[in-house]
A and B are shown apart, each in its own frame.
Chain A
Amino acid sequence: MTALSPSLAPQTRRRLALGSRHALPVALVAVFLLFSALAPGFLSLANLESVLVNNFTLLSIVAIAMTFAIAAGGIDLSIGTAVDFASFSFVTLVLSGQPVPLALAAGLGGGALVGLFNAVLIAGIGISPFLATLGTLFIGRSVQQLLTNGGNPVYLPPAGVPESFRFLGRGTVAGLPVPLLVAGAIILIAGLILSRSRFGRVVSATGTEAEVVRYSGLTLKAHLAGTYVLVALIAAVAGLVLTSTVTVYIPSSGNAFLLNAIGAAFIGTTLHPHGRPNIAGTVLGVLLLSLVANGLLMSGLNFYWQQVGTGLLIFTVLALSFASRKA
Chain B
Amino acid sequence: MTTPPSDTIIRLDGIEKSFGGAKALSGVSLAIERGTVHGLVGQNGAGKSTLIKLLAGLHQPDAGTIEIDGQRLTHITPHAVESLGIHFIHQDRLLVPTFTVGEALFLGREPRIAGTPFLDRRQMQRRAREVLQRYFGLSLPNSALIADLSTAEKQIVQITRALLDQPKVLVFDEPTAALVKREADLLFQLIRRLREDGITVIYISHYLQEIEALCDRVTVLRNGRDVATKALSETSASEIAGLMVNREIGDLFPVREKAPGEPLLTVDRLSAPGRYHDVSLTLHRGEVLGLIGLLGSGAKEFLRTLFGLETAASGTVTVQGQAPWQASPVQAARRRLALVPEDRRRHGVALDLSVKENTTLASLSRFTRLGLIDRTAEESETDRLITRLQVKTEGREALLRTLSGGNQQKVAIAKWLSRQSDIYLLDEPTVGVDIAAKVEIYALIAELAEKGAGVIVLSSDLNELIGLTDRILIFFRGEILRTVTSETATVDALLADVTGSSELTRHAG
Contact = CB atoms under 8 A, between A and B. Distances in A.
Interface of A: 1-2, 4-5, 7-10, 13, 192, 196-199, 201-202, 204-205, 208-209, 211-219, 274
B246 interface: no
Given A196-B372, A197-B371, A212-B361, A4 B334 contact: no
B23 interface: yes
A1 B392 contact: yes
B21 A4 contact: yes
Nearest to B333: A217
A10 B394 CA distance: 9
B372 A5 contact: no
Given A201-B357, A217-B330, 9 more contacts: A8-B62, A192-B372, A198-B371, A212-B349, A212-B358, A215-B339, A216-B329, A217-B332, A217-B333
B326 interface: no
Contact of B348 (A5, A215, A217): A215
A219 B350 CA distance: 16
Interface in B1-55: 16, 18-23
Contacts of B352: 208-209, 274
B21 A10 contact: yes
Given A198-B372, A201-B357, A218 B330 contact: yes
Contacts of A9: 18-20, 62
Interface stretch (B225-233, B267-275, B317-325, B362-370): B362-370
Nearest to B346: A211
16 contacts: A1-B387, A1-B391, A2-B395, A4-B394, A5-B18, A9-B18, A9-B19, A192-B372, A198-B365, A201-B361, A208-B350, A212-B358, A215-B341, A215-B348, A217-B330, A218-B330
**In terms of DSSP, what is the predominant structure of the interface of chain B?**
mixed
A31 B508 CA distance: 85
A219 B361 CA distance: 12
Contact of A215 (B347, B353, B391): B347
Given A209-B352, A214-B329, A7 B16 contact: yes
B303 interface: no
Given A205-B361, A212-B348, A217 B372 contact: no
Contacts of A218: 330, 361-362, 364
B368 A198 contact: yes
Contacts of A205: 350, 353, 357, 361
B62 A202 contact: no
B415 interface: yes
Contacts of A4: 21-23, 392-394
Contacts of A199: 371
B301 to A, nearest CB: 16
Contacts of B419: 217
Most buried by B among A10, A204, A212: A212
A224 to B, nearest CB: 14
A201 B362 CA distance: 11
A13 B20 CA distance: 8
B394 A5 contact: yes
Given A205-B361, A216-B362, A7 B23 contact: yes
B351 interface: yes
Nearest to A196: B372
B329 A1 contact: no
B144 interface: no
Contacts of A192: 372
B204 interface: no
Interface string B366-384: 0110011101000000000
Nearest to A212: B350
Contact of A1 (B358, B367, B386): B386
B341 A197 contact: no
Contacts of A196: 372-373, 375
B432 to A, nearest CB: 17
A13 B399 CA distance: 13
Contacts of B393: 1, 4
Contacts of A204: 353, 357
A201 B394 contact: no
B429 to A, nearest CB: 14
A5 B391 CA distance: 13
Scoring B20, B309, B330, B419 by chain A CB atoms within 10 A of each residue's CB, the highest score goes to: B330
Given A9-B18, A209-B346, A216-B415, A2 B361 contact: no
